[in-house]
Amino acid sequence: MKTFETVSGALEMDYAGVCCPCNDAPATFIEKQSCSQGNVVFAIGDAGVHGDPLPALCVRHYLRRGSPDRSTHPVMAAESINQLIYDCCAASSSLSCFYAEYARDTRTLRYVNAGHDAPLLVRENPYQVLRLDEGGPVFGLRESPHYSEGVVALKKGDRLVAFTQGVIDSLASHNGGAESALVSLARSRMNTSAFQLAQRIVAECESTRSGRRMEKSVLVACFAYNEIECPLELRCTTSACITSE
């Protein structure tokens, strides 16, 4: 198991990624870029068990080449990433991906979901579960597909859980299915850190195997939004990536 934990660049939002790699390791990834002023760019992607690893590398390259002060419209970013994969990869190559940008000044998350398993935003006061599924098709299959942007305002106590297909497969046997299991795990840990929540989800995935060999990597990324004011001098610019390689 690989783990990664970081503060996002704004102290009100902490982030963690946990990975349990398998055969599809090079084709799955989580990447986050923390920018100046507490803004964050984040992506998680999955090309499948027999997927081409090159589309994942294209997305990571796109994210890393930007300025720390970048603020790109998510639809424009999705179109650029899709074109990059379409131009550089084999005709049959594709990648499901969730791409998001957190803007600290407005405390909103703007995103495009390119055919990826919808991340879950779990909140209390009042209790709500939002599926972040606005977007379009997977990257790479078509030259100029249409993408639409989703926007959600974050609230104190929100927990965002993003994951790959390996998580869905591992938790499918739970009563109510994988999404129900993820929501239950998130709700039971609303007062813990993002790292503790991500670790617990991966541990639950591993416990369901019962000695069986996993065919798909389990990648989980969690964000915990705590609405803590961050003094300007404490803001930082960092970058991080976790892959199942």
> Is 229's pLDDT higher than 50?
no
pTM of the model: 0.86
Q: What is the DSSP string of 188-213?
A: TTTTS-HHHHHHHHHHHHHHTSTTPP
What DSSP designation does 215 have? S
Locus of tokens 């984040």: 42
Chain mean pLDDT for the chain:
82
Q: What is the pLDDT of residue 198?
A: 92
Q: Is residue 97 classed exposed, middle or buried when 0-12, 13-18 and 19+ CB atoms within 10 A define those classes?
A: buried
Cα-Cα-Cα-Cα dihedral sign, residues 185, 240, 219, 127: positive
Query: Which domains are assigned to the chain?
Result: 2-243 (3.60.40.10)
pLDDT tens digits for range 179-206:
999 999 999 988 888 889 999 999 999 8
Q: What is the pLDDT of residue 233?
A: 34
The number of residues in the chain equals: 245
Q: What is the pLDDT of residue 112?
A: 97
pLDDT tens digits for range 125-184:
789 999 999 999 999 999 999 999 999 999 988 999 999 999 999 999 888 899 999 999
**Per mean pLDDT, which range of 2-11, 176-185, 236-245 is the poorest?**
236-245
Token pair belonging to 161: 């859980």
CA distance 240 to 30: 9
149: helix, strand or coil: coil
Percent of the chain with pLDDT over 90: 43
128: helix, strand or coil: strand
CA distance 244 to 21: 5
